[in-house]
Every structure is written in C-alpha cells, then in structure tokens.
Structure 1
C-alpha cells in the first residue's frame, strides 16, 4: 500500500466525497513545523490546516494560502530559552551485540 492508496481508503472511511489533497504541500508543512516548532506540532498543524480549509470552504489555492501562513509562522517560531532542538534527539541505541556483522560494508 502506498500513500495514495491510504488517502483514498481513509477518505472513503471518513465519508469524504471527492477528497483532493496536495499531500506534498501537507508533508512539506509538517516537515517545517516538526523542525521549527517540535515534532508533535506537525500532525496537529496538519489537522488544523484541514479544519480551517473545511470551515472556510477553501479551494486548492485557498488551502495553499492557509498552508503558507502556517509555514511562515513555523519558520519564524522562536523556541523558549533552553528548549531542546527537535533535531537533537537522544534516541536509544539498540543493543545488537548478538548480531554478526562480519563482512558488512558501510557507506560514508
């Protein structure tokens, strides 16, 4: 299954007739928000974009304009002093000491 299949199936499940989505626009906005604000803000922003577009009856150009406003806000977002950089995450490193890495090559 790919993203387009998921969108079609989800639109059907949510009873959205003729749902047109510019997934590139939404994904770009989510990426900017995740990096400029914080990761959990990305899906919330996408939801609010959809809510605003729906409540305003926005056409594709209107959705683009709303997304541009949200992206501009995210790009200019000032994190509070001492806030962690969302790109600087200390993810746990899995223990693979039992894995045999003999013969593996790594690209740099």
Structure 2
C-alpha cells in the first residue's frame, strides 16, 4: 500500500507512507506508486511540502525516498516499535521546488 495522510491545506503539506510485501521488494513498485501519489499531491492539492519517515534499519525505504528526491532532515529517537524492538526513524522532506515528477 501507499498512503497520503496528515494533509493540512492551510500549511499546504502532508505525509507519504508505503509498505510492500517482502516478495516484491526491489521491483520498483514503491517508487512507481509513490511517484504517482506525489504527482497527484503536488498538482491536485497544490502542496508545498511532503514529509515521510523510514525506520533507520530499513535502507530500502530510505533509498526509495531519496530516489524520489526526498532529503533526510533528522532522526526521531525511539519513535516506533517494530516486531517488539524499539527503533529510530529518519524524517525526510520533499519541497515543491525540488520535485521532479518526470525524472527520465
């Protein structure tokens, strides 16, 4: 799944999230789906900023975000528990002026 939430029309911002089954990791589905959602969010909702978070142990998700143009902005310490293990998350941000909806 790919989701868009925490939409704030006054701030022109929102959050992107995604989760895919391990069987399809590395096939580009997350990048393709997130790119489509970002195009919609920036165009239809006229956003200025989209935020995303990734578990610091999930290098694949971090790569997807960076491939889409997100910049790592900081670390949230011990903000999530995954499979009973406390973990940190990286916070990423993508601004409208940085968004390249057609990278090819």
Bucket of the pairwise TM-score, normalised by the shorter protein: under 0.3
Name the structure where helix makes up a greater proportion of residues. 1
Name the structure where strand makes up a greater proportion of residues. 2
TM-score, normalization by structure 1: 0.25
TM-score, normalization by structure 2: 0.26
Larger Rg: 1
